[in-house]
Amino acid sequence: MTSSTLLAQDPGNLKPALRRGACLKCPRCGEGKLFRSYLKVAAQCDACGLDLTPQRADDGPAYVVILLVAHLIGFALVPMFSLLGDHPARIALLLGLAAVGLSLALLPPVKGMFVALQWVKGMHGFEPARAVVPVRAA
């Protein structure tokens, strides 16, 4: 890894950092894993050594996912009634399963984006990097 693959911690690098977070990768280098399990953020990046312990995503990703999924399911009600007719139990089962599946699928990428946003903005314990970023030899 070269220093050119590392992002600087400034607001101008928001889009690439969010993209890397959504792909569940380190927001700085894009190579290391962001999570050690489904929603547990790793202590540090395996590739560049970025300390990820200061992140405080808390309930933010869950609120965003609920907002997105509820809107999608709400807008899907009318087409489902026109497709399946008057079968509310079937519609509730299908939309309920869709809501659970969408929520489980969207939660890690949204949390990754929250961690990346906090890193780029220097929020909480992510102190803005003023020194040269240390780079491991490949």
Would you kindly state where each structural domain of the chain is located, as residue ranges? 3-121
Using alpha carbons only, what angle is made at residue 128 by residues 124 and 130, rounded to the nearest 5 degrees?
155
Band (pLDDT 50/70/90 cuts) for residue 24 is very high
Q: How much is the pTM?
A: 0.83
Burial of 21 from C-beta contacts in 10 A (0-12 / 13-18 / 19+): buried
pLDDT band at 8 (very low <50, low <70, confident <90, very high): confident
Helices (H), 1-138: 14-22, 60-84, 88-121
Q: What is the pLDDT of residues 57-87, one digit of tens each?
A: 889 999 999 999 999 999 999 999 999 888 9
